[in-house]
Amino acid sequence: MQRIEQHASFDGSQEVWSHDSATLDCTMNFGVYLPPQAKQGPCPVLYWLSGLTCTEQNFITKAGAQQYAAEHGIVVIAPDTSPRGENVADDEAYDLGQGAGFYLNATREPWAKHYRMYDYVTRELPALVAEHFPVTDARSIFGHSMGGHGALVIALKNPGMFRSVSAFAPIVAPTRVPWGEKAFSAYLGDNREAWKAWDACELIAQASEKLPLRIDQGEADPFLAEQLRPQWLEDACARAGHPCDVRLRPGHDHSYYFIASYMGEHFAHHAAALKG
């Protein structure tokens, strides 16, 4: 563990740490915001998962999260979106390879050696956070686009691990949209039944925990009709009797301008669960 950035922010500290990941077999960075309350004792943790092409930097520099984390006394963890390095498999396209880990465990070569973001986010990273930072065992998770997909799937596959979950413009049914079909074919192979284990709409039907799903979606999002399809999640939740709150935001696109506009509402949502 090595701290490579530290910036004072809202009486707390925005940091970036680097470590050698045993799960991903490469060096990984992740952002950590320590609110001022962390100086007095352990705080609850909120995990953020970013979207395609992003690193930890997009969120920590553009989302405006630090002021809300400081207000509510929440530690925020923002990992990278994929394994990185010269020896890590990659692709020239933006939606496959480095920057496009899709928060799953790849089973197909050449991806299987490194692309295990699910295990990284659910096992290795929480263990590192618990060991090195002043945190309680209260956790929540949220994300954007590919990271929204990751947050929903990880919460649904790990009942009891998180107090709350939310997403901005998530890919809710990756088994049925171009982004997901391309990535899943590469990472998992051609067995579409195996894909369902990484699809929020499929997991809803068998969810043992009815954790409410909070979604914000911009109506001017250029990816809404082809890649995101939040109505599919609403339909799946209605069939399963799973609580789901999808809020369509007029005029908003897929950018961090949209995310920053509603970041405060998401922090309030998670703070209520983390401290309840």
- Catalytic sites, residue numbers: 145, 221, 254
Torsion of CA 23, 25, 26, 30, to 10 degrees: 0
CB 141 within 8 A of CB 155: yes
Report the C-alpha gap between 18 and 115 in whole angstroms: 18
* The two three-digit tokens of residue 182, written as one number: 């391309």
Place of tokens 């939606």: 95
- DSSP letter at 163 equals S
For residue 152, give Cα distances in angstroms to 65, 83, 156: 20, 21, 6
